[in-house]
Amino acid sequence: MKVFHLSAECYPVAKVGGLADVVGALPKYQNQMGLQAAVCMPYYERKFVQENEFEVVFEASSLLGTQRFYFEILKEKTNILGFELFLVKIPGLLDRENVYSYPDETEQFIAYQIAFLDWINWSQQSPDLIHCHDHHSGLVPFLLEHSRLYHRLAQTPTILTIHNGQYHGAFSWAKLGLLPEIDLSKTGLLDWNGGINPLASAVKCCWKYTTVSPTYLEELTYQSNGLEYLFYLERAKGTGIINGIDTDIWNPKTDTMIPENFAIRTLAAGKQKNKAALCEKFNLSPDKPLISFIGRLVVEKGADLLPAAIRGSILAHPGGVNFVILGAGDVKTQDALLALHAEFPEQCNVFIGYDEVLAHLVYAGSDFLLMPSRVEPCGLNQLYALRYGTVPIVRTTGGLKDTVIDFGDEGGYGIRFVQASVADILHAVGRAVSLYETTPHLQLLRKRMMALDFSWDRSAKEYVNLYESLKPII
Ligand code: ADP
Ligand code: GLC
């Protein structure tokens, strides 16, 4: 079975968040299961592209509205990632450094989708399935069925995986002309709320959609930035499949990015050494419970709550709890966190920026990982934390709800709280501090969480079962 994954991100080619981790791992595991899974993504001028060898496997020109554009499809030569990687390069449009936030993002992603479809169409490829991730490839299911140009491929099954239902990629009907020739009687399938909405269109036109956790599937019907009714209507087409983690990269036994490797057997000493290295880096005492946060400093992640919650926790446990923050995002939150570090230099330290290697050390060296997310479709941070024996403190939402059991419940290992509020975080931190003081209990929980299996083996299989289930329809 030949499958194309279409995504804006893929680790280690270009990563902004968890989407990259998933698209960098799932196809690899699918190939190990006997599929032929490939990734086709936009070209970004980044380290991975500069350090690896690519060949041009296709070149042509196409139309974006009235504008002709030239594109190349580049293939990474050695399949170093465990799958075929194709990049769509379009001079002046898809040859930049950053993944998102350009003013012509709409044009960028439409051109990416057109180039992909033209390539497989003109080179006479017939994939068994096209797997779209988020809104960036959300027009593909519509175009396959309702553009005369791609008639040959109209029966190709499509799957949409929703990693983040907050972003839709919506744009005005005034830009309809950017799309290739389509059946104008079908434009309703592009529309949501008076605009062209690629995520909504994908939900309507894909054969099946998935969300990255079962709870998120339900949450989208009442919290999806305006698409609630659509998700309610299309609910029967959806399935929740929890993400896995790439254990080739996230494994405390073999991780080359941490100072001390460890396994369940060597857990206590291993954690201690990593904690010592992390605390030294951040000028914190290694003898106090250490609670960390890693992630985008945005409202979705509850990052705006962090300054008050950390301040309150430090005041509630004077000299009794330390914090490390690794992230970047809203300037107001960044500034408030830096001010907190200035106020409590011995209890709170902050790294504003993105640092993959440092993230590994934070997972390995922290005692607790705080995730006060307002929205968390799956969340990978808590899965990495579990793998590294770090107790997740999570808000009970989305994938966090599906993957973390409170240590007060049978078989539990984490700390959960209900509201995205400073008060609830303070209470959860209080429980963490008490837990830290009962070392044998904490060690037991750490062993329990490290033994959990969140590898891709299980989830990759669920995707394949879903693909297979489309066969009778074909
Ligand atoms: P999201 O994709 O919504 O940001 P996830 O939990 O799915 O959330 O994935 C976040 C990924 O990005 C994880 O791999 C996490 O380690 C990584 N990450 C987030 N912020 C940073 C940062 N500042 N430095 C390094 N890694 C980061
Ligand atoms: C999104 C979500 C996150 C999820 C990731 C990978 O970025 O915000 O919860 O883990 O996608 O699916």
| CA of residue 399 to ligand 1 center, whole Å | 15
Please report, as a single letter, which amino acid is at residue 381. Answer: N
Using most ligand atoms within 8 A of CB, pick from 15, 134, 135, 243 the residue to mutate for ligand 2. 243
Please report, as a single letter, which amino acid is at residue 349. Answer: N
Average pLDDT over all residues of the chain: 97
pTM: 0.97
Residue 24 CB–ligand 2 contact under 6 Å = no
Q: Which tens digits make up the pLDDT trace of 426-473?
A: 999 999 999 999 989 999 999 999 999 999 999 999 999 999 999 765
Residue 334 CB–ligand 1 contact under 6 Å = no
| CA of residue 216 to ligand 2 center, whole Å | 11
Count of CA atoms in the C-beta half-sphere (13 A) of 421: 5
Query: Which ligand neighbours the alpha carbon of 162 most closely?
Result: 2
| CA of residue 327 to ligand 1 center, whole Å | 8
| CA of residue 294 to ligand 1 center, whole Å | 7
- The residue ranges of the chain whose pLDDT is under 50 are 474
Query: Which ligand neighbours the alpha carbon of 293 most closely?
Result: 1
Could you tell me how far CA 434 lies from the centroid of its own chain? 32
* pLDDT the model gives residue 416: 98
Using most ligand atoms within 8 A of CB, pick from 21, 301, 334 the residue to mutate for ligand 1. 21
Query: Which ligand neighbours the alpha carbon of 382 most closely?
Result: 1
| CA of residue 125 to ligand 2 center, whole Å | 31
User: Residue 266 contacts by C-beta under 8 Å, 6 or more apart in sequence?
Assistant: none
* Domains of the chain from N-terminus onward: 2-244+457-469 (3.40.50.2000), 267-453 (3.40.50.2000)
Instruction: Residue 217: name the closest of 207, 206, 203 by CA.
Output: 203
* pLDDT the model gives residue 471: 79
